[in-house]
Structures are given as structure tokens and as C-alpha cells.
Amino acid sequence: MHANIRNLFFLTILLCFLTACEETDLANKSKQAPTVESNSMQKNEEVGNMTLPDAPLQKGDQGDDVKAVQQVLKDIGYSVIESGIFDQETIWAITDIQLQQGDSLQFTGLYDKEMKAVLEKWLEKNGDIHPGDGFKEENGEFNPYEILALVNKKHMLPEDFVPEDLVVPDVLFPFTEDLPKKMMRKPAADALEKLFVAAEKKGLNLFAQSGYRSYERQEELYTAYVERDGEEAANKYSARPGQSEHQSGLAMDVTSPDVNFLLNEAFGETAEGQWLKEHCHEFGFIIRYPKGKESITEYQFEPWHLRYVGEKAAKEIMEKEITLEEYLEGLSY
């Protein structure tokens, strides 16, 4: 009787010991190897708690703000590296998202407050973004929608590129016909309207003469100039098709009554031309082909040719008296 009780007592102790060992082993395994589900939950929680920067960002910018944007883009599914440098892959991803949003966003490749709102909406699981859905086809390394896109004799626009956001700015034109050359891309058109309002307040008489120009129209013009003046002369003032900034929708030739609405160097000596040289950067524009830079731009001086690049880039370009080529060459991206 006493022997049976003693055996039962030892058996109970053994069972308790084995159970305790099993529970300890399970606890250790749980700490050392989290499940896929717990990893996923942790990641989602970290992404949801991310803070996006308020400051606008563009090509070449560097720092933690850029890295924060890149981290969200990567979590969405874009092939970006969290380098902290606002590089071409980052620009592609942002442009792709902007195109997916339709008219609610401007297509610029820039990070701004509107872009921040879209990314925050995605972080809150209320946004619908599908990498690659914005661009209908692969365009290689050249992003035609980027505000800082370089278009010249070495960097060409695709033959079939027609901006989706062309509009007619509410400014004065020296003609009444409803022609395509009245149009610009919306970011540039909005800025041009502000520039014209400011010029009018100064008593200046600016007129917009020629904006968007299709690949086919540029081909017609270039061919005509070559027939008239020869290829060597035409290349100094006219772009071959695909090499014209007018096709980008970001350029506008402007003029005034003092030069009979012509596009010539004399415009640069008018009150309107002088004012533009001093103030166009305040609205995001540059004089694209400045005097003394012909060896870089490969075009003659054109005081009438405005190109929209955004206020940040325009300020530096005009204050340093450099070209768009020189500005982009100095960026780290």
C-alpha cells in the first residue's frame, strides 16, 4: 500500500517535470523563430507608422527625407533602392503613381504635398496603387513627363510622345485661331498664367506665341528650314524632330508688340525681355538658350524661349547664369 502511494507520487513529479520542459522548449522556439504571420504584422505596423516629409523633393536631392519616400515606394512594390538620393528610379516611380491618379495630380516626377497625401492614403490602406500601371509602355531611361527632363540634340523624346495633360493657358496670344501651339502641359501652363499676371501688373505687354508642337509638326518645320537655309544653318536655330522642347509641352515662345510679335534677339532688349531675364525664375521658368552658352546648348541665343523646370531649379539656373545641361550635370543622382 505504502509502496503504491510512493510510486504514484514519483510518477506525478516526473509528469510535471516533462510538461514544464515541453513548455519551456516551446517558449524558446517562439522567441527564436517568429512565424511568417508575425513578421508580416510587424512590417505592416512599421510601414503604417512611417512619417513622410513635408518638404518638396526633386532630382538630385539627398538625405533622410528622400530615404523615407523611397522606403514607402519600395513597400508599394517599386524597384527603388533606399539610397537617400532622389534618383531616376525614384522619379519613375513617382511619375507612375501620378499618372495613375489622373487629373487629381500633376505629372511632374516631383515629390510635393499632393504626392505626400497619395502616399499617406496608401499607408492607411485606403489607396490603390499598382506599379507599372501609369506608363502604358516601357520608355527606357528617358522619362518624358519629368519636369527636369533634358531635351536636346543628345536626348530625344519618343516619336509618339504626346503629353496627356495639355491645356491652353489663360494668357494673351497675338492670334485668335485655336491652334495646338497655344497649349502647354498643365504645370507649365499654371505657372505661365502667374508670370503673365505679374508682368501685366508691371505694365508689360507679354504675348504667348508658340507652345506645344508635335513630332510631325517639328519635322515639317525643320525640313522647310533646311530647304530654305541649308542644314548647317537650320541646325543652329531649329531642332530636328524629337529634339524639340516644344514637343515636351514645357516650353513657350513669348513676344511683345515692340518687336511686332516676332521671335528675334531684339526681344531681349525690350522691357518685357529684360523683365523676363530678371524674374522668370520666380515662376519656375528659365531662358533656355542664353547668350554666350551656344557651345553648350548648340542653339543660338533665344531670349524668347521659356522652359518650365520648377521654381527650385529655375532659381539656381538663372542666378548662376548656367544652362539646364550644366545644372543637371552638377546633380548627384
Q: Which residues are catalytic?
A: 302
DSSP string, 240-280: PTT--HHHHT-EEEEE-GGGTT--SGGGGGSHHHHHHHHHG
* DSSP strand pairing (302-308 vs 207-210): unpaired
Which residue has cell 525664375?
Answer: 281
Adjacent-strand bridge partners of 302 = 289
Distance CA 90, CA 96 (A): 10
Angle at 234 between CA 228 and CA 236, to 5 degrees: 155
Nearest to 155 by CA among 57, 236, 248: 248
For residue 178, the SS3 value is coil
The answer to whether 249 and 185 are in contact (CB under 8 A) is yes
SS (H, E, C) 27-50: HHHHHHCCCHHHHHHHHHHHHHCC
3-state percent helix, strand, coil for the chain, nearest multiple of 5: 50, 10, 40
Structure-derived torsion over alpha carbons of residues 287, 288, 290, 296, reported in degrees to the nearest 10? 160
Q: Give the count of alpha carbons within 13 A of 168, CB side only.
A: 12
DSSP string, 137-170: S--TT--TT-TT---SSSS---TT---TTEE--S
Nearest to 314 by CA among 277, 270, 263, 274: 277
